[in-house]
Structure 1
Amino acid sequence: MLLLGLLLLTVLAGARLLWGQWKLRSLHLPPLVPGFLHLLQPNLPIYLLGLAQKLGPVYRLRLGLQDVVVLNSKRTIEEAMVKKWVDFAGRPQIPSYKLVSQHSQDLSLGDYSLLWKAHKRLTRSALLLGMRSSMEPLVEQLTQEFCERMRAQAGVPVAIQKEFSFLTCSIICCLTFGDQEDTLVHVFHDCVQDLMKTWDHWSIQILDIFPFLRFFPNPGLWRLKQAVENRDHIVEEQLRRHKESMVAGHWRDMMDYMLQGVGKPRVQEAPGQLLEGHVHMSVVDLFIGGTETTSTTLSWAVAFLLHHPEVQQRLQEELDRELGPGAGSSQVPYKDRTRLPLLNATIAEVLRLRPVVPLALPHRTTRPSSIFGYDIPEGTVVIPNLQGAHLDETVWERPHEFWPDRFLAPGASPGALAFGCGARVCLGEPLARLELFVVLARLLQAFTLLPPAGTLPSLQPEPHGVNLTVQPFQVRLQPRGASGPVLGESQ
């Protein structure tokens, strides 16, 4: 009986695919790549870029039973996401998205609508207006405390990824809940780690390619549901506490700000009403999008600097010129970040080479459109290959090389697309850029980064998973001015 049901589902899916192809016969579609096992490639963004060298920057390929369009250049990505942003602002509603996004109230995973725009506006206001005066002092304070903890481990090899992960989670906790208690930070940190690990498992990813498999037993699906329930329980407890102690017209943190912005009548062009569930999912987005992505980028920065001690030394010389040697309490305000051009260039280069989400999140066309002269039907899933665009030899000189100076030259290459662009650009980009600037400045001001026993970290991402996650490594943090080997000496 089970076999018969599987056969019937396969036949129906095949018939639907053939009917869809028949309807598209009169359109000028991008070229189609043969095969359907592309997701098995070990380095998917680089593989997709290789296909672009044969087929051009826009093509189609089949992921399971669905055709998707892949964009592999900065020009095509910006044409779709910026110039024609309304056409490409949708989000496909695949099984795992529906499960974790609370009936499409999620910002990152929710489909485009006028209510979604109002939700985005509220969250952006909470981040940029509600927390504007306290954001930088908070990041500075927590980073200073982080450096003090690292100083207590001076000379001992440190698993820096875990430390960065806890730091970024602490920052989000303070901004969102106004709470710096380690217990709450640990609870949220463990919750996010568990959710992301479960969501990234192959047993869940395969459901997004072959949705009919959700009707069959799947332990991974059960674990994901449990992780989502745990997540929601923790967020709901914070919502309850905030509602009990909130004072109208005053906000202590982002949750207060957003709670006071929901339930109000919206302007006429935004039908519907923002509800508490929208605040709930904004919090989820802030934690998922604002912890591991930033901590992973910081980890990549340290890994590259261990491989390039000459760049690290130049960065420290730049900091010393601006702040004075050993000026641990001095800082460059973020608004004056142009005073540290090499640091800004180094951050830009890390984001170019290692965008944490190299294929972004998939988009969906909201109406018929076109890219690069090709017809793109309504409802088409579109994947922007951000890493592919960052390695485009027609845009970047020596694209595979870590070379921050490319961003210092007159007429330097345009910035990377690590945070996306257009309507779906990452809401947390301003906070992430602030954190990258402050944390790296403080870290390099206080310490020299050295590989333990001369063992350099791998610059190849973890072999499994879609995201560009750095392989585990350790670093030795030598307080500056302390005795020991200096940069440039053999370890």
Structure 2
Amino acid sequence: MVLPGLLLLLLLLLAGTRWLWGWWKLRSLRLPPLAPGFLHFLQPNLPTYLFDLTQKLGPVYRIRMGLQDVVVLNSNRTIKEALIQKWADFAGRPQIPYGKKNLDLDLSLGDYSLTWKAHKKLSRSALMLGVRDSMEPLVEELTQEFCERMRAQAGAPVAIQKEFSLLTCSVICYLTFGDKDDILVHTVHSCVQDLLQAWSHWSVQILEIIPFLRFLPNPGLWKLKRFQENRDDIVREQLKLHKDSLVAGQWKDMLDYMLQGVEQQREGTDAGQLHEGHVHMSVVDLFVGGTETTATTLSWTVAFLLHHPEIQKRLQEELDLKLGPSAPSSQLLYKNRMQLPLLMATIAEVLRLRPVVPLALPHRTTRASSISGYDIPKDTIIIPNIQGANLDEMVWELPGQFCPDRFLEPGKDLKTLSFGCGARVCLGEPLARLELFVVLARLLQAFTLLPPPDGTLPSLKPQNFTGVNLLIRPFQVRLQPRNLMPQDQGQNP
């Protein structure tokens, strides 16, 4: 017992010395105001709590996270100044002190470098060029299959979040692996769920506040690493299958496209040269970042429409006017999405009120910079409070209210920051927006959303914020088909 105690004391002394040295270096700078206290990150609704602090401290301030200060940005103006106007200063990522293997190969959490830029370019090209032509037909096909499954459960309460999650996982599986086999989809879906639950557990999250605890026994961290190994086994198997069947100059999915892109780069002498490990981690980011986020936004939309049936009715009237109650899929094209302005406005309003990643992912300054006149030293961790920016009264009138019509007002160019901005903008934004449009259009065209028989409406209060995502509380919905015979349409089973 003496040796572990001495080790812990030594770590505390080293951390304290480092903090004092950092304080001494920063004493002459004009830093953002510091929020008193040390337990900010334990707040159950952290994004809203951080936004509320702006009433006393302004839109830019510091909070303590363990022994280091973190700068929080809470307005459109300050976030855009940092991530767009001075993007190169704020494009870095902090090191993750737990359970993240191959961090230098990771696209979402990897640090900014020439290799990272090449990695991002390859992944974006795979999404926008490799599967661009097949993306919309695929989402349409899988959405139609989803609606048929829902029609088989017509009138019965459905846990819609899980159904959306399986749908978005199917889309990613098909785009990435060229396969929508049910066994593969459920295997990947289960893996993603395990990872997200393990990552958001308090025993893992506390390591961000007290990093040296990673040296102590931690069953939660061990579980996370086991799930990561399982994840990597799934990806390695798919990589092998794709390499064995690869034909030069041809690709059927994103994995084929990226493998060929890596092979072409090997013939050059780029400083940002990539290898198979980068392709592996691109696949990981696609699944972890592209499955539950979109499914959660779809679930939030259903919840808001259950609370606002008048908006749902207007949406269905818009769809019927433009498409008819049973229009063929060829008439529903994403390029014509502005013919459905209320649907686009509703999606925008849900993304504004419930951004799935409300605090984005943390940034790190690559060099000394400034925001709103405050000095920001090199290697400072920056948290863009996207939810706070989306509630900014300087931009939004009555920001806490659900009002899609705000996006229909002529002469206003309102845009949310829900997918981030600048060099680190969400890579999957085009796919996510396509999925939201197609799934919601087809769902509302085919069904009327109703609460369960007892009339219980879903809570619009998010679950306690842990990890990264702003999760909705579980709820059920009834999907009543809209193509009933006239004498049946007045029934409410």
TM range (shorter): over 0.9
Cα drift, residue 331 of structure 1: 3.4
1:289 lines up with 2:289 in the alignment: yes
Q: Which residue of 2 aligns with 1:95?
A: 97
Alpha-carbon distance in 2 for matches of 1:314, 1:265: 51
Cα drift, residue 272 of structure 1: 4.0
1:11 lines up with 2:17 in the alignment: no
Which among 450, 459, 469 is matched to residue 471 of structure 2?
A: 469
Check 1:352–1:267 CA distance in 2 against 1; reply closer, same or farther (3 A cut): farther
Check 1:200–1:320 CA distance in 2 against 1; reply closer, same or farther (3 A cut): same
Q: Which digits, 9 at most, give the CA deviation of each residue in 1:331-350, with x for residues without a partner? A: 32100100000000000000
Alpha-carbon distance in 2 for matches of 1:244, 1:266: 19
Q: Which residue of 2 aligns with 1:75?
A: 77
Greater mean alpha carbon deviation, residues 297-306 or residues 99-108:
99-108
Alpha-carbon distance in 2 for matches of 1:10, 1:409: 56
CA RMSD of aligned residues (A): 1.7
Alpha-carbon distance in 2 for matches of 1:141, 1:228: 31
Alpha-carbon distance in 2 for matches of 1:35, 1:282: 38
Check 1:66–1:141 CA distance in 2 against 1; reply closer, same or farther (3 A cut): same
Q: Check conservation: 2:259, 2:276, Cα contact below 8 A.
A: yes
1:28 lines up with 2:3 in the alignment: no
Cα drift, residue 326 of structure 1: 3.2
Q: Check conservation: 2:74, 2:389, Cα contact below 8 A.
A: yes
Equivalent pairs, count: 487
Check 1:274–1:465 CA distance in 2 against 1; reply closer, same or farther (3 A cut): same
| Paired AA for residue 458 in structure 2 | P
1:332 lines up with 2:340 in the alignment: no
| Paired AA for residue 50 in structure 1 | D
Alpha-carbon distance in 2 for matches of 1:281, 1:265: 17
| Paired AA for residue 402 in structure 2 | F
Alpha-carbon distance in 2 for matches of 1:254, 1:437: 22
Q: Which residue of 2 aligns with 1:456?
A: 457
| DSSP-derived class of the 1:67 partner | strand
Cα drift, residue 270 of structure 1: 4.8
Q: Check conservation: 1:89, 1:423, Cα contact below 8 A.
A: yes
Check 1:328–1:302 CA distance in 2 against 1; reply closer, same or farther (3 A cut): farther
Cα drift, residue 280 of structure 1: 0.1
Greater mean alpha carbon deviation, residues 100-109 or residues 266-275:
266-275
Which among 36, 46, 52 is matched to residue 50 of structure 1?
A: 52
Q: Check conservation: 2:93, 2:363, Cα contact below 8 A.
A: yes
Moved over 3 A (4+): 263-270, 328-331, 483-487
| DSSP-derived class of the 1:176 partner | helix
Q: Check conservation: 1:266, 1:272, Cα contact below 8 A.
A: no
Q: Which residue of 1 aligns with 2:273?
A: 273
Which among 48, 65, 68 is matched to residue 63 of structure 1?
A: 65
Check 1:156–1:78 CA distance in 2 against 1; reply closer, same or farther (3 A cut): same
Q: Which digits, 9 at most, give the CA deviation of each residue in 1:175-233, with x for residues without a partner? A: 00000110100110001110111111111111121111111111011101101100000
| Paired AA for residue 473 in structure 2 | Q
Alpha-carbon distance in 2 for matches of 1:404, 1:413: 14
Q: Which residue of 2 aligns with 1:157?
A: 157
Q: Check conservation: 2:352, 2:390, Cα contact below 8 A.
A: yes
Alpha-carbon distance in 1 for matches of 2:331, 2:306: 24
| Paired AA for residue 479 in structure 1 | P
Q: Which residue of 1 aligns with 2:253?
A: 253
Cα drift, residue 141 of structure 1: 0.3
TM-score (norm 2): 0.96
| DSSP-derived class of the 1:378 partner | coil
Cα drift, residue 269 of structure 1: 9.6
Q: Which digits, 9 at most, give the CA deviation of each residue in 1:291-349, with x for residues without a partner? A: 00000000000000000000000000000000123335463210010000000000000
Alpha-carbon distance in 2 for matches of 1:256, 1:268: 20
| Paired AA for residue 388 in structure 1 | G
Q: Which digits, 9 at most, give the CA deviation of each residue in 1:434-466, with x for residues without a partner? A: 000000000000000000121100000112424
Check 1:330–1:135 CA distance in 2 against 1; reply closer, same or farther (3 A cut): closer
Structure 1 alignment gaps of length 5 or more: none
Check 1:484–1:12 CA distance in 2 against 1; reply closer, same or farther (3 A cut): farther
Q: Which residue of 1 aligns with 2:40?
A: 38
Check 1:199–1:281 CA distance in 2 against 1; reply closer, same or farther (3 A cut): same
Greater mean alpha carbon deviation, residues 6-15 or residues 382-391:
6-15
Q: Which residue of 2 aligns with 1:195?
A: 195
Q: Check conservation: 2:103, 2:109, Cα contact below 8 A.
A: no
| Paired AA for residue 437 in structure 2 | F
Greater mean alpha carbon deviation, residues 202-211 or residues 226-235:
202-211
Q: Check conservation: 2:465, 2:471, Cα contact below 8 A.
A: no
Cα drift, residue 273 of structure 1: 1.7
Structure 2 alignment gaps of length 5 or more: none
| Paired AA for residue 258 in structure 2 | M
Check 1:334–1:486 CA distance in 2 against 1; reply closer, same or farther (3 A cut): farther
Alpha-carbon distance in 2 for matches of 1:424, 1:122: 15
Q: How many percent identity over aligned positions?
A: 73
Q: Which digits, 9 at most, give the CA deviation of each residue in 1:53-101, with x for residues without a partner? A: 11111001101111100000000000000011010000001213xx324
TM-score (norm 1): 0.96
Counterparts of residues 214-253 of structure 1 (less than 5 Å): 214-253=214-253
